[in-house]
Amino acid sequence: MYEKRLKTIKAICEKLKNQPRKPKTVKSKHQPVTSNSKTKIRKIPTWCIDRVPIGSRIIREDGDYHWVSVVVS
């Protein structure tokens, strides 16, 4: 069962690598900046760490996993 789950996670990470990233929209200077985002801590496999968003921080390494602080809006 563990191997099946690991294969599923690897397949999802591979699909994410192949997806094009959406271009970010540029906000005008007149719009107020609102921050309704929350920080969540996630457990990410080490071999999938390159798909973590840019603004996230690695909190600690735990064997095959990294604990990552991710800002979620």
Domain positions in the chain? 36-73
Residue 57: per-residue pLDDT: 87
Structure tokens, 35: 């921050």
Q: Is this prediction's pTM over 0.75?
A: no
Residue 37: per-residue pLDDT: 67
Residue 31: per-residue pLDDT: 60
Residue 62: per-residue pLDDT: 85
Residue 33: per-residue pLDDT: 57
Parts of the chain with a pLDDT under 70: 27-37, 73
